[in-house]
Chains A and B, each alone.
Chain A
């Protein structure tokens, strides 16, 4: 899975910047998989919370697309934040590479959120058609 995250992130970041920074070794060994897993986890938790806590266990009425979009924005924002704080706390230096990593992780967080939504909305009580009907 580490290889997967490393490939995913370095490929996506290389769209913006092909030159790797001096602390790329740190990204490769630690940061990509750490940030990757945490982002995945955060997206999953938010999806579970949206569909099964607020729209199954509780009846909050927050099943509209706008609510879903706001939660997706929260996931994306947390993705950016995670990339920044985890990298810094593990000794990465501020660099343009870190900036692009944050941008990429924002997109990745949103993608995870979308993916988990599509996969899991089916079993939600009140929000099974949020943000769209189908595909299953």
Chain B
């Protein structure tokens, strides 16, 4: 039988026990307080996993594309659309434009499509079948045509032209009735597309040469008023005009097999999905390296004081034109800014994610590209890193495709540089960035 020594503990011993316990707890919390962690006064619970900076693209994508296709159908264009046959292959124009209008007709991204022929200043609405007939050469009569500025003005004067995508297909040969107009070519173009300037619409220019059969009307009329060509190649252009995000989307999703000569003015995408990739990565090359870096509060906490911190970020750039999705282009143009610190894009780090990586690793699924950033200095307790794609200026091919005398047919267009200078002048200098994404940083000290 157990012998209980004391039935109840004396009160003094009991309280001494609590005092001792208090000393013990105090020591532990003191020891913990010496840690590197700055004590948080608020117990705000940070988000578990870092969310992509923008979930907006998903909702923006719902906005359907409304597309109007305008085909200039004048005597000068007729040579692009000869009536073919089994023994005569279609011209490049017929292949490319035939595919483009078909894609516009059937693509799910396009909610509403309209087709027009530009024979004079006011475009004439036609059904799809009739436009296709024109492209395949099943029409005899061609109108006299209209001057380039008037045609553009007429197109942008259409109701709702500034809220939807206008696709203009033409040879863009400028032949004014009054010779003095030549001196004002950039200004005339700029005036004719005034809504582009006023509402900062985007203009995408695609160009290609195509075999040409028939009467060719150069802008410079000497020595020949017109020439009859039999398969020589001359350029034609597709202009896509509209709100920036819609033009980007049209270029990326509808005009997928566009010619390689492209120029974009005022193009902006909706904010792409973007997030640092830190955890759940199987590829060691994607993992962060260097000092401390971890995700917290929709941003990153890092400490680059000892070693520069490298980490990967994912970007969804599927809205960019195909040429701009190339890793080399992005590596050359992407800009990283970090006020109160130093950050850079690591060389050769931009790459496209393969299908396999996207499907194999859920964390990579929302992104098309990965790239690696290095933060080597962070002076302030907090800072915002921004990653931007500045809009490229007029590309080099434009100069090579321009000429001051087009009387002898060549893959050049009279005054193309001046025409596009008129477009370029519709935007501020420097051009606004195509997109900017931001990432809040916190110094882990």
B residues in contact (CB < 8 Å) with A: 2, 4, 9, 13, 16-17, 20-21, 24, 28-29, 31-37, 39-40, 43, 45-46, 48-50, 278-280, 287-288, 291-296, 301, 303, 311, 444
Contact = CB atoms under 8 A, between A and B. Distances in A.
B292 A19 contact: yes
Nearest to A90: B48
Nearest to A5: B32
Given A11-B31, A91-B280, A25 B37 contact: no
A83 B39 CA distance: 23
A29 B45 contact: yes
Nearest to A114: B24
Interface of A: 2-4, 6-8, 10-12, 14, 18-26, 28-30, 59, 91, 93, 111, 115, 118-119, 122-123, 125-126, 135-136
B291 A135 contact: no
A13 to B, nearest CB: 9
Contacts of B288: 22
A109 B273 CA distance: 43
Contacts of B39: 3, 7
Contact of A115 (B24, B294, B444): B24
Contacts, number: 97
A136 B22 CA distance: 14
Contacts of A23: 278-279, 294-295
5 contacts: A4-B32, A8-B31, A24-B292, A126-B2, A136-B20
Contacts of B287: 22
Given A4-B29, A14-B35, A25 B24 contact: no
Contact of A125 (B4, B9, B36): B4
Contact of A25 (B13, B16, B46): B46
Given A22-B294, A24-B294, A125-B2, A93 B279 contact: yes
A29 B37 contact: no
A2 B32 contact: no
B363 to A, nearest CB: 11
B13 A20 contact: no
A21 B294 contact: yes
